Structure 1
Amino acid sequence: MSFKHLSALLLLASFWGSSFLFMKIGAPALGPFFLIESRVLLATIFLLAYAFIMKQKLSLKVHWKQYIILGTINAAIPFVLIATSELYLTSSLASIINATTPLFTAIISILWMKETKSSRTFFGLILGCIGVIILVGWNPIAFNMKLVIAIMASCLAALFYGIGGVYSKIAFQHTKIKPLELAIGQQFGASIVLMPLALLYLPNQLPSLSVSFSVLGLAIFSTGIGYLLYFYLIKNIGPTKTLSVTFLVPIVGIVWGVIFLHEPVTASTFIGLITILISIFYVMDIKNILLRTNKKI
C-alpha cells in the first residue's frame, strides 16, 4: 500500500467515524428508516451535482442490477442496522463493534474469492477483534435483551459490509467504472430499496436544527465524499485492506462521542484502542509503507 492510499484511508476513517455521532443524534428523532433514506438520497443528489460540475459522464443504466444489489448489502441494510442499534448503544460502542468488519471480509474473501492471506494479516485481524472484545466486554453499560439485540445488529451490519466489499470487488473488477459512478450507483440503489419503508415510517414532527445538520453531515461527508474514497481504495488495494479502516473508525467515533455527547471513557477503552492500533500495524503492514516512503524521499 502506498503513502497516498494510506492517506486516503485515514481521511475515510475520519468521515466514517463521524457517522456514528450523526446517527446517534438523528435516529431517535427521525427513526432508522427515514434517517438512512435521507442519508443515501441526499448523498446521491450531492454526488450527481458533483459529477455535473466536473462534467463526468455516467452510465448508471448499464449496471443498474449490480447497483441495486450493492446498495442493498453495502448501504441500506448495514446503515439501518447501525442506526437501529444506536437507539440503545452509545455512538462510541457502535463504532467499536463496527471494527469487526475486516475479520468478516477476510473470511468471506477466503470462501468466495479463494484469496490467500499471510499469517501476519491473520494475526493482525485476530488481534483487532481481541481489542474490540476488550472494549465491549469491559463496558460499564448494563446488559439486557435490548442491548444484546443492538450489539447483534451492529455485528450483522459489519458482516454485510464485509459481503459488500467483496461483492464490489468481484462485480466491478473487470470494468472501467470510476469510483464516482460506483458511489452514485450504490447510494441510488439503496435509496430505491429504502424508499417504501421510509414513507411507511415518517417522523411525527419536523427535525431540530441539530438533527438537520447531522443528516447533512451524514449524507455529504460520511456518505458522499466517504464512498468516493471507499471505492477508490477498493479498486486499488482490495477489500480486506480497505475495510481495515474500521479499526481506525472507533478512535474517531470515541473522540466525537466524548466531545459532543459526553459519553464515558474508561481504562478498558484505552487498553482496547492500543490493542487495535497494534493490529493495524500488522494488517496494513505500515512498516513497509514507511520504508517505501522514505526511499522515495
Structure 2
Amino acid sequence: MNNFSKDNQAIIFGLGAVLLWSTVATAFSISLKYLSPTQLLLIANIVSLIFLIALLTMKGELKLFFSYAKQSWKASLFFGTINPFLYYLILLQAYKLLPAQEAQAINYTWAIMLSFMAVPLLKQRLKMADYIAAGACYFGVLYISTRGQIDTLAFTNITGVAFALFSTIIWAFYWLMNTKDTRPSLIGLTLNFAFSLPLIFLFAGITGELSHWNTGGLWGAVYIGLFEMGLSFVLWNKALKLTSHASRIANLIFLAPLLSIVWLSQFAGEPILTSTLVGLGCILVGLFIQNWAKRNKQ
C-alpha cells in the first residue's frame, strides 16, 4: 500500500512538472514580444538562481553549495556555459524567429539527437528502432518547417529551424556530459546558474542589451525563471525519486507539447496550424518508438 501511495504521489509531482513545462512556450512567446532573448534569459537566470539558493538554504545545504563551488568551479563553469547560457540563448532565438508551436515541437527531437550523439561520446550502439524513430521525428520537423509543403522544400524560416535544431544538439550534449557529473543534482544545477550569470551579463553588455528595457515582458521572464528553470526541476526530481517505475513518469512528458499548443492558442493568440499537428504527431510517434524499444531492452 505504501508503494502504491508513493507511485500516486510520483504521478502527481510528475504531472505538476509537465503542466509547468507545457506553459513555457506561451511564456516565451509573450515575453519575447517585449524582450530580446538575452534580456529574457538574464532575468530568468537571476530569478531561478534566487529560488534555487533559497531552496538550498531551506534544506540546510548552503555550506555544501559553497564547498562544491570552490572544489568544482571548472565543472560548474563548463556546465553553466552549456546550460543555461548557450542552450537558452539559442532556443530563445528560435522562439523569436518561429511561431512558438513550431519551435517547441522541433525542440522535442532532442531525445533522438541524444541517441545519435551517444554513439561517439558514450560508445553506445544504435538499434533499428532508433533509425525508425529518427525518420519519424525528422520527417515531422520537415513537415513543420515547410508548413506541409515538403514537395517544394519551401522553408518558412530556415534560420529559425536551424536554431531550433541546434538547441537539440546543445541540450543532448549537456545531458550526455551530465552522466559524468559527480556533483549532487540540486547543487550542480544551482552552480550552473550561478556561473552562467556573469557570462550572460557580459554577453548582454557586449551586445548593448543592458539598456532599453521594455517592462512588458518582465513578469513572463520571472515566471520562466521561477517555474521552467526552478520549480519544475524540483517536482520532476521528486517524482523520479518516489516512483517505482521511472518509465511511467517519463511517459508523462508526451502530454507537454499537446497541452502547450492549447495554451498557445488560448493565451498567446497563435492559431493552431495543421502542419504543426501533423508534424508533432510524427515526432511523438518517433519518441514513443524510441521509448518502447528502450523499455523492451531493459
CA apart distance, 1:206: 4.5
1:263 aligns with 2:270: yes
Provide the residue aligned with 2:45 in structure 1.
40
- Equivalent residue for 2:137, pick from 128, 145, 166: 128
Provide the residue aligned with 1:252 in structure 2.
259
Q: Which AA in structure 1 matches 2:161? A: I
Provide the residue aligned with 2:3 in structure 1.
none
Provide the residue aligned with 1:187 in structure 2.
193
CA apart distance, 1:246: 7.5
Assess if the C-alpha contact under 8 Å between 2:109 and 2:283 holds in 1: no
- Equivalent residue for 2:88, pick from 79, 99, 103: 79
Q: Which AA in structure 1 matches 2:113? A: F
Provide the residue aligned with 2:170 in structure 1.
160
2:106 aligned counterpart, secondary structure: helix
CA apart distance, 1:139: 5.5
- How many Å separate the matches in 1 of 2:282 and 2:291? 14
- How many Å separate the matches in 1 of 2:237 and 2:202? 27
Q: What is the correspondence of 1:96-135 to structure 2 with a 5 Å cutoff?
A: 96-135=105-144
1:55 aligned counterpart, secondary structure: coil
Alpha-carbon spacing, 1:41–1:139, altered in 2? closer, same or farther (3 Å): farther
1:60 aligned counterpart, secondary structure: helix
- How many Å separate the matches in 2 of 1:234 and 1:193? 31
Any idea what the Cα deviations from partners look like across 1:223-265, whole Å, max 9, x if unmatched? 01234467789999xxxxx999886543233222111112122
CA RMSD of aligned residues (A): 3.5
Assess if the C-alpha contact under 8 Å between 1:99 and 1:129 holds in 2: no
CA apart distance, 1:45: 0.9
How many pairs does the alignment contain? 276
CA apart distance, 1:213: 2.2
Provide the residue aligned with 2:72 in structure 1.
63
2:96 aligned counterpart, secondary structure: coil
- Equivalent residue for 1:31, pick from 36, 57, 73: 36
- How many Å separate the matches in 1 of 2:131 and 2:91? 26
Say which one has the larger Rg: 2
1:217 aligns with 2:226: no
Structure 2 unaligned residues grouped into runs of 5+ = 1-6, 244-248
- How many Å separate the matches in 2 of 1:68 and 1:231? 23
CA apart distance, 1:183: 1.5
- How many Å separate the matches in 2 of 1:261 and 1:233? 30
Provide the residue aligned with 1:239 in structure 2.
none
Provide the residue aligned with 1:207 in structure 2.
215
Alpha-carbon spacing, 1:61–1:277, altered in 2? closer, same or farther (3 Å): same
- How many Å separate the matches in 1 of 2:195 and 2:89? 14
Assess if the C-alpha contact under 8 Å between 2:140 and 2:283 holds in 1: yes
- How many Å separate the matches in 1 of 2:33 and 2:26? 12
1:217 aligned counterpart, secondary structure: helix
Q: Which AA in structure 2 matches 1:219? A: G
CA apart distance, 1:74: 2.5
Q: What is the correspondence of 1:266-281 to structure 2 with a 5 Å cutoff?
A: 266-281=273-288
Assess if the C-alpha contact under 8 Å between 1:102 and 1:125 holds in 2: no
- How many Å separate the matches in 1 of 2:234 and 2:38? 23
CA apart distance, 1:54: 1.9
Assess if the C-alpha contact under 8 Å between 2:30 and 2:268 holds in 1: no
Any idea what the Cα deviations from partners look like across 1:27-62, whole Å, max 9, x if unmatched? 232211121011112101110001111222422222
Alpha-carbon spacing, 1:220–1:184, altered in 2? closer, same or farther (3 Å): same
Assess if the C-alpha contact under 8 Å between 1:13 and 1:245 holds in 2: yes
Alpha-carbon spacing, 1:253–1:47, altered in 2? closer, same or farther (3 Å): same
Q: Which AA in structure 2 matches 1:251? A: L
Q: Which AA in structure 2 matches 1:278? A: V
Any idea what the Cα deviations from partners look like across 1:85-132, whole Å, max 9, x if unmatched? 222211111101212211221111111111234333443343233223
Q: Which AA in structure 2 matches 1:258? A: S
Q: Which AA in structure 1 matches 2:175? A: G
